[in-house]
Amino acid sequence: MIRLPKGIVDEIAAQANAEAPNEACGYLAGTDGTVRQRYPMTNVDASPDHFALDPKEQFAVLKRAREAGLTLLAVYHSHPETPARMSDEDIRLANDPNTIYLIHSLLDGGTKGFTVDRDKTVMEVPVEVFE
């Protein structure tokens, strides 16, 4: 399970709306399965169908999170026109079975989490949103 403050879900939704029609993306970091910090990042592919993170931003964000005593919990991105589900492209590009892939849908406002194992099997992860 991953726990998300409602304020961070709202920030992800705002970023997704601002970057539409392209996918928005970033990292979520925290402790003990609870997100404490959102790190918005650049979708260097500027695409409505997939995202790619800037490696320099990735290293900078990981350093900032570690300095704050946080652990990377999830990679998030938006789906501007489809539900919050792992697309074939998302599954193909998922390369860390220990990471939660969080998707926010602009179509229906849903936010869901997933893991993808090395065999590319997708498992939904419960997302608890709290005030």
- What tens digit of pLDDT does each residue of 77-100 get? 999 999 999 999 999 999 999 999
Per-residue pLDDT of the chain (131 residues; tens, 9 = 90+): 999 999 999 999 999 999 999 999 999 999 999 999 999 999 999 999 989 999 999 999 999 999 999 999 999 999 999 999 999 999 999 999 999 999 999 999 999 999 999 999 999 999 999 99
Secondary structure in 3-state letters for the chain: CEEEEHHHHHHHHHHHHHHCCCCCEEEEEEECCEEEEEEEECECCCCCCCCCECHHHHHHHHHHHHHCCCEEEEEEEEECCCCCCCCHHHHHHCCCCCCEEEEEECCCCCEEEEEECCCCCEEEECEEEEC
Q: Please state the pTM of the whole predicted model.
A: 0.95
